[in-house]
């Protein structure tokens, strides 16, 4: 028996499953021109100030920062961030108030969003995104959706790469330690002293080009990380 039961694509759109799928995923495939990666999302999630979240909500950490064998090259490779398990197009959140400094394709990092957080004076970078939801110059608050998880750049599967760089010294900070310390920074920003430091660093932050970037390099600092498991003392609120 060779009965052709294929459903025309437009009928698939009418099914409930098709409708749910269409609503659930901001974009249906990864085959887009660069401009198509922008999916604006002025969405804000009510993050509790005192709870620890990862950039993908309660996503699990699959690879700690430090040295490891790279899954693509097989070579020993310094890993400057942490890899967070994620589903395709799962929202990626801003953990701490800041300003978006760089957005775009960035070599091995794929589509990346970089945010400057005036307190505690760090930059965080989310890489391998399928789409971005903010543009350079956007002021973002804790809980804001900044993009959607994907597998762009050098990546073996959908995940979010999260890197934290200390702004004044350009050193890597162990990202998992940073994630765990974020509620302390939130509390500090709400103090008079923290608000002052935040405003001052926002005023004196380095200038940045408010355009989308598209480069072949990751354009990240080359130094090894601080001793694993201990963020620089100057980051403590």
| List of residues contacting Zn ion (CB under 5 A) | 83, 161
Q: For Zn ion, which is the closer residue by CB, 65 or 183?
A: 65
Tokens standing for residue 157: 């599967």
- Tell me how far, at minimum, the Cβ of 213 lies from Zn ion, in Å: 19
Task: Give the separation between CA 191 and CA 227, rounded to whole angstroms.
Answer: 29
- Closest residue to Zn ion, Cβ-based? 161
Q: How far is the CB of 108 from Zn ion (least distance, A)?
A: 9
Q: Give the Cα separation of 183 and 47 in Å (integer).
A: 10
Q: Which is nearer to Zn ion, 68 or 180 (CB)?
A: 68
Smallest gap from residue 86 Cβ to Zn ion (A):
12
Nearest approach, Cβ of residue 16 and Zn ion (Å): 37
3 state DSSP class of 179: helix
Nearer to Zn ion, 18 or 221 (CB): 221
Q: Which residues contact 161 (CB under 8 A, 6 or more apart)?
A: 81, 82, 83, 84, 109, 125, 126, 127, 128, 155
| Of 66 and 232, CB closest to Zn ion | 66
Question: What is the per-residue burial (b if ≥16 Cβ within 10 Å, else e) of 144-172?
Answer: bbbbbbbbbbbbeebbbbbbbbbbeeebb
């Amino acid at each position: 028996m060779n009965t052709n039961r294929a459903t025309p694509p437009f009928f698939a759109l009418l099914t409930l499953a098709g409708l749910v799928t269409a609503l659930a995923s901001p974009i249906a495939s990864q085959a887009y021109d660069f401009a198509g990666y922008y999916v604006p999302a002025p969405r804000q999630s009510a993050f509790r100030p005192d709870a620890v979240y990862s950039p993908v909500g309660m996503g699990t950490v699959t690879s700690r920062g430090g040295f490891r064998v790279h899954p693509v090259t097989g070579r020993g490779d310094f890993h400057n961030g942490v890899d967070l398990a994620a589903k395709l197009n799962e929202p990626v959140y801003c953990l701490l108030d800041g300003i978006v400094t760089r957005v775009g394709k960035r070599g091995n990092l794929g589509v990346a969003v970089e945010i400057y957080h005036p307190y505690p004076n760090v930059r965080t970078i989310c890489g391998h995104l399928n789409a971005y939801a903010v543009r350079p110059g956007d002021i973002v608050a804790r809980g804001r959706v900044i993009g959607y998880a994907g597998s762009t750049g050098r990546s073996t599967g959908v995940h979010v790469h999260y890197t934290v760089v200390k702004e004044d010294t350009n050193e890597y900070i162990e990202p998992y330690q940073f994630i765990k310390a974020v509620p302390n920074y939130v509390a500090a920003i709400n103090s008079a002293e923290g608000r002052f430091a935040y405003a001052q660093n926002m005023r004196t932050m380095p200038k940045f080009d408010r355009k989308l970037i598209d480069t072949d390099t990751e354009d990240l600092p080359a130094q090894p990380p601080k001793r694993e498991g201990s963020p620089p003392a100057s980051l403590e609120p």
